[in-house]
Structure 1
Amino acid sequence: MTEETAGGGPVGDSGPDKGAPARGKWASKTEFLLSMAGEIIGLGNVWRFPYLCFKNGGGIFLVPYFVFLFFCGVPIFFLETALGQYTSEGAVTAWRKICPMLEGVGIASLVIVIYLNIYYIVVLAWAIFYLINSFQSPLPWSTCDNWWNTELCHGRLSIFANPDIFHPESNWSFLSNITSAEYFYNGTYINVTDPFSIRSPEEEFWINRVLRMSDDMSLGKVHWDLALCLLLAWIICYFCIWKGIKSTGKVVYFTATFPYVMLIILFFRGMTLPGAVEGVKYYLQPDFSKITDPGVWLDAGTQVFFSYAVCQGVLTALGSYNKYNNNCYRDCLALCCLNSATSIFAGFVVFSVLGFMAYDQGVSIHEVIASGPGLAFIAYPKALSLLPGSTFWAVLFFLMILLLGLDSQFVCVESLATAITDLFPRQLRKPGRREILVLVIAVVCFLLGLPLVSEGGIVLFQLVDSYGASGISLLFIACFETIGIAWVYGADRFYYNIEDMIGYLPFPVLKYCWLFITPTICWLTMQYDLSKGGHFVVYDFVPGFWATILGSLLIITPLIFIPIFMLVPLCRNPKNMTTPSSDLRQARAHKPVLTLCSKVIFKAQGQPNNSVDKRNEKMMIEEPIGV
């Protein structure tokens, strides 16, 4: 293995990659860190974590959150990153090299990444649509005199933005006497419970202008303005990654850092607004009774798994481009701290503005709170429209949403391209082949995403969002990953591999997390989730039967590959179905692969491979520890 890029560089000298151009490496550690940060820090930090914190007891939610983070999130995050760095392979071939019978784990992750590549970019299309409309004054979602508005639309002037209009002796109650929950959009996607309730202009813009749902919720009639926004999002994504990590590593310098600039600007603007302090109090005020609610723990675990992008193969792909001796242990700890700190900080940004919105409307903050697209495309735009200079703040906000989602999207596409390239290295590592591969991925995913921007696309979007990369799927994969590394490959052997890479053994608790704690927590959480009774989404206009069938298929499709690929090596070569590839460097091959309390559980399974050791001696000299 060399540091040359795949395009015309040296060829691999052993194993299945023999005769194929060698894989590339990150040009610097900064590019790796920014790419990882861009993937794990995304829209979920802004529109999901603050709402979950508010919903599940305020500050007390941080207790289950950090329990899941320390005992599930960090161990799996580090495991996947170290696996990629150790094997220098994408998600599928990394597991094949570690343990042939676990190749299905990589395939399952690959299917989930395909789901993400198809539906996640639709959010970017919405963001582009809103960004384009943000340059109008007044903002098109702030008034009720547009062609998409109905008689049910009810607008309101802002006291803060128009202080001269509101005098103490004036009676403007007819503009603000609607204080029921139906007036303020409080759902995640759409509100279909009462089609005759009063609606805000922001809600009507979202439902009647952006989504444009028809009575039959047809998937065949595509909204071509949204389709063009989706195409633009794919064009931007393609040119960010078409050259592989050579282009990805440069783009993330902007896409991963600029959202922080905008978050800081929005934070200081939000905290100077009236009512901001009350909003922050609602965000953090602890409700100790929530700590015993299993649903709170389930929400915490789900947030950790989604926020840290584990069990999707993305971390393995990004780690695979590291130098062998990169200190991935230190990198992972730093990235985990950054991710959680960003989530907590984003809560201040969101709730300071929602507190102002509640203050300006004269209602409780419970009536303006929202999560998901409901926060990004209804609640927050409403708050921005109440500010002086609303156009400027709207442009700033939707540009931040676009960049937050963009780097997560193109890293997902990068991981998919990496996995496919590593499956067919001789064919796809040749000059010019990668550009074609990424183009094919972009075109196919764009075409598959068109139904999501149709009249009934929001229903399909929510089903894929809820069950494509569902908590059940991720928890199931996490169990197999940790059990596979700890009990099949051997926790001690993997520890020695990490020591060989970074120069020292990681914190011992990680080993016992992989062995016992992480799979146990994941299994119990999954069982509780299943015990809730198959909570598939049912709409008035979608038969529950079809929602259940589609949701079940989305969950089962990736997971079915795990048992299938266990049977393949069992039929072909059962004696070697757990034997790692001889290409992998084993610095302590003479030591037991697993010990517990100084007792040998599994003995050593082989002696050092001299050819591999000699090949890696030069690599270790060129890549000193601590790089």
Structure 2
Amino acid sequence: MEQEWNSILTFILAMIGLTIGIGNIWRFSYVLYSNGGGSFFIPYIIAILIMGIPFLILEYGLGFSFKGSFSKLMYSLRPEFEMIAWALVLFVFIVVIYYMVILGWDFAYLLNSFNYGWGNNPASFFTASVGGSSDLTKSTTLILLTLFCTLILWAVFWFITYRDINDGIGKLSKILIPLLFIIMLFIFIYSFTLPGAYLGIETLLRPNWLSLLDINIWLAALGQIIFSLSIGQAMVYTYATYLPKNSKLVDEVLLVVITNSLYEIFIAIGTFSILGHMSFTSSIPINELISEGTGLIFIVFPEVFNSMGIMGHILAPLLFISILIAGFTSAFALFEPLLSSLCDKFKWDRRKGVTILVIIAGVCSIIFSTGIGSYLVGIVDEFVNNFGILILIGVQAIIFGWFYGVEKLIPVLNEFSTIKVGKTWVFIIKYLLPIFLIAFWLNGTINLFNNSGSLEIAVDLIITIIVVGFSVLLTKLNPKAD
């Protein structure tokens, strides 16, 4: 790789942008609340220690040492592993396609936030004008507002990404990440002052110690860490390939993990402060307001803003701007693994690769801009993450632990780091991670197919055929020669 971050600060801000995404805002608060409240912090911290930090250290070490695309790394271990790499980066590329559509929804709400264009019924507005529904008769209907907003975002995305990483992603991260923290700090502090905020915080953090005996609580903690820190999805690895010399790898991992965790914890507390306020002022039980995903951001919060008077007109744009920032910086990282692998294999320059992939992704975005867009996003997101990406993360743990030999990374990781790794880290990578990841994948797969109807299975099958087909094709085309 010829490209390199121009400073460690640029890399750290880009990594924080990678890990902090819309999932931190709309997912973690619900996971915390529904999995034991305050008692959930025990499995959460343990999952960080045995899953998040060790795997991120592995990816930092591999990227820093190898300085090549993920597909090239896997090919260098064994040629047959290249297909695994293509499958992973293709799954991640599918994520960025629908992820940008979700940001298109957010952009549409941002445009409507100044005058509360969602009206008195945000749920109806979302269904009719933004995300659609599960009504299959609407599958051929385009939602023009969503398509328009998504294509604008793809154009901006192209303009930033086709540049050198420092002029594009790096420079923007230096602006957006501090701005994101300023906006969210303002929302967080203000939410504390709202009447009834204490009700939401108490509801969120009330511990249920018996929940620690439930295996599903521990699996939820593992899942939160996997997707919150984006481990094993070739994004962290790809960003680490751009690291300059003398990087304190282990120290930088810990800084990013701590920042990400504090951010999502504070956002969860702020979210429940606002929900507590709405419950207090409207006399609606707080458990009836609690939601996750699109329901929280695009339905519940607009209802809250409707009841807040003048302050709602300030908070609403700030919230949707912060979601846009968090999502955009994560989208850059989701895009990089496939871009890096294609450019490495076919000797494309960055501008050519970015242009081709943005055009493909923009066209595919149309599928999720139909009258069943949100329904399709839910199906694809569950399958890609809980089935496709999860099993490939587990396979990676086995490959890097047993075929690569992680022991050889220890001198590289410890050379400049203040905090050192050793035999315990190797044990976790070789033994604990594969067991936990495969168990988590099996649990997710069982739940996925138990809850799938004929349409869901058909969509899953189509995605599988596309990913496997292109993985085979890309592996066989123009074999690598060093």
Tell me, in whole angstroms, the C-alpha distance in 2 between the residues paired with 1:302 and 1:451: 27
Between Structure 1 and Structure 2, which shows a larger proportion of helix residues?
2
- Does the CA-based 8 Å contact 2:61-2:409 persist in structure 1? no
- 1:377 is aligned with what amino acid? F
Runs (4+) of structure 1 exceeding 6 A deviation are 559-562
Shift of 1:281: 0.7
- 1:302 is aligned with what amino acid? G
Deviates further, 105-114 or 243-252: 105-114
Unaligned runs of 5+ in 2: none
Equivalent position of 1:311 in the other structure: 232
Tell me, in whole angstroms, the C-alpha distance in 2 between the residues paired with 1:459 and 1:73: 30
Does residue 1:393 correspond to 2:315, yes or no? yes
Unaligned runs of 5+ in 1: 1-21, 144-200, 538-543, 573-580, 584-627
Decide whether aligned partners of structure 1 residues 533 and 438 sit closer, same or farther in structure 2, where only a CA change above 3 A counts.
closer
Q: Secondary structure at the match of 2:449?
A: coil
Q: How does 1:303-382 map to 2 (within 5 A)?
A: 303-382=224-303
Q: Secondary structure at the match of 2:139?
A: coil
Shift of 1:142: 3.9
Does residue 1:131 correspond to 2:110, yes or no? yes
Equivalent position of 2:148 in the other structure: 228
Tell me, in whole angstroms, the C-alpha distance in 2 between the residues paired with 1:473 and 1:556: 12
Larger of the two Rg values belongs to structure: 1
Tell me, in whole angstroms, the C-alpha distance in 2 between the residues paired with 1:345 and 1:368: 19
Decide whether aligned partners of structure 1 residues 509 and 220 sit closer, same or farther in structure 2, where only a CA change above 3 A counts.
same
Aligned match for 1:102, one of 76, 81, 85: 81
Tell me, in whole angstroms, the C-alpha distance in 1 between the residues paired with 2:245 and 2:191: 44
Q: Deviations over 1:24-64 (max 9, x none)?
A: 11111111111111011111111101111001110111222
Does residue 1:410 correspond to 2:332, yes or no? yes
Tell me, in whole angstroms, the C-alpha distance in 2 between the residues paired with 1:495 and 1:559: 34
Does residue 1:527 correspond to 2:442, yes or no? yes
Does residue 1:292 correspond to 2:210, yes or no? no
Equivalent position of 2:118 in the other structure: 141
Q: How does 1:426-505 map to 2 (within 5 A)?
A: 428-429=348-349, 434-468=350-384, 470-499=385-414, 505=420
Tell me, in whole angstroms, the C-alpha distance in 2 between the residues paired with 1:497 and 1:80: 12
Tell me, in whole angstroms, the C-alpha distance in 2 between the residues paired with 1:337 and 1:44: 16
Tell me, in whole angstroms, the C-alpha distance in 1 between the residues paired with 2:324 and 2:107: 7
Shift of 1:533: 6.9
Shift of 1:487: 1.3
Q: How does 1:46-125 map to 2 (within 5 A)?
A: 46-125=25-104
Shift of 1:110: 0.6
> RCO greater where, 1 or 2, for CA within 8 Å and sep 6 or more?
2
Aligned match for 2:11, one of 25, 29, 32: 32
Equivalent position of 1:517 in the other structure: 432
- The count of aligned residue pairs is 476
Tell me, in whole angstroms, the C-alpha distance in 2 between the residues paired with 1:372 and 1:261: 23
Does residue 1:204 correspond to 2:124, yes or no? yes
- Does the CA-based 8 Å contact 1:58-1:286 persist in structure 2? yes
What is the TM-score normalised by the length of structure 1? 0.72
- Does the CA-based 8 Å contact 1:104-1:561 persist in structure 2? no
Shift of 1:106: 1.8
Decide whether aligned partners of structure 1 residues 555 and 36 sit closer, same or farther in structure 2, where only a CA change above 3 A counts.
farther
Equivalent position of 1:189 in the other structure: none
Decide whether aligned partners of structure 1 residues 555 and 325 sit closer, same or farther in structure 2, where only a CA change above 3 A counts.
farther
Tell me, in whole angstroms, the C-alpha distance in 1 between the residues paired with 2:20 and 2:73: 24
Q: Deviations over 1:434-464 (max 9, x none)?
A: 2232122111101101011111222211111
Tell me, in whole angstroms, the C-alpha distance in 2 between the residues paired with 1:114 and 1:413: 6
- 2:267 is aligned with what amino acid? A
- 1:309 is aligned with what amino acid? S
What is the TM-score normalised by the length of structure 2? 0.92
Tell me, in whole angstroms, the C-alpha distance in 1 between the residues paired with 2:292 and 2:134: 24
Tell me, in whole angstroms, the C-alpha distance in 1 between the residues paired with 2:216 and 2:236: 28
- 1:227 is aligned with what amino acid? L
Tell me, in whole angstroms, the C-alpha distance in 2 between the residues paired with 1:228 and 1:474: 30
Decide whether aligned partners of structure 1 residues 448 and 508 sit closer, same or farther in structure 2, where only a CA change above 3 A counts.
same
Shift of 1:308: 0.9
Tell me, in whole angstroms, the C-alpha distance in 1 between the residues paired with 2:40 and 2:190: 26
- Does the CA-based 8 Å contact 2:24-2:267 persist in structure 1? yes
Q: Deviations over 1:184-223 (max 9, x none)?
A: xxxxxxxxxxxxxxxxx12122122323558543433212
Q: Secondary structure at the match of 1:321?
A: coil
Q: Secondary structure at the match of 2:118?
A: helix
Equivalent position of 1:242 in the other structure: 162
- Does the CA-based 8 Å contact 1:472-1:555 persist in structure 2? no
Equivalent position of 1:611 in the other structure: none
- Does the CA-based 8 Å contact 1:96-1:102 persist in structure 2? yes
Percent identity between the two aligned chains: 25
Tell me, in whole angstroms, the C-alpha distance in 2 between the residues paired with 1:215 and 1:93: 43
Tell me, in whole angstroms, the C-alpha distance in 2 between the residues paired with 1:213 and 1:72: 36
Q: Deviations over 1:135-184 (max 9, x none)?
A: 22xx13343xxxxxxxxxxxxxxxxxxxxxxxxxxxxxxxxxxxxxxxxx
- 2:9 is aligned with what amino acid? T
- 1:115 is aligned with what amino acid? I
